[in-house]
Amino acid sequence: MTYGVHVFDENGQLIMNTNSFTYQVLWQGVLDFSTSASSQTVIIPGFNPATCVFMMIPTRVQDVQSSEADGSGNQKSYPYVTTAAGQVVVTPYNPSSTTGSTASRVIAKGYAVRFA
């Protein structure tokens, strides 16, 4: 019996197989933008953008956009993430957007994962 996750592309080719590599959760925590529009810098020892990923999952139902026509879509969008060696900066808006942009107000669970 085989254990693990197998991910296939649209052509049926195996592109990820957890039997052939390992992963390690380097950091996990809550990123709360519900009351503040400030950026959050997370220091993560061992984080390398070449071998790691950072992901966020919303923790509240109201943080999931119901449709593209949802007028509060920006408030429900994922914050903008910038990665660097040893750290992740999470901003509630795209830094290249105009100053009138509505900031994200989500509460999300964040994970930094290293693949080996």
pLDDT band at 99 (very low <50, low <70, confident <90, very high): low
Q: Which of 10-14, 94-98, 109-113 has the lowest mean pLDDT?
A: 94-98
pTM: 0.72
Residue from 21, 67, 47, 20 nearest 110 by CA: 47
* pLDDT of the residue at 37: 72
Kindly tell me if the per-residue pLDDT of 102 is higher than 90.
Answer: no
As to burial, measured by CB atoms within 10 angstroms (0-12 exposed, 13-18 middle, 19+ buried), residue 40 is middle
Cα distances (angstroms) measured from residue 92 to each of 3, 20, 82: 38, 36, 11
Bridge partners, residue 25, by sequence: 113
Across all residues in the chain, what is the average pLDDT?
83
- Predicted confidence at residue 1, as pLDDT, reads 44
* Model pLDDT for residues 6-54, shown as the tens digit of each residue: 888 999 998 878 777 778 899 999 999 888 778 899 999 999 999 999 9
- According to DSSP, the residues that pair with 55 across neighbouring strands are 111
Indicate the burial class of 76 (C-beta count within 10 angstroms; 0-12, 13-18, 19 or more). Answer: middle
Let me know the angle formed at the C-alpha of 66 by 38 and 39, rounded to the nearest 5 degrees.
10
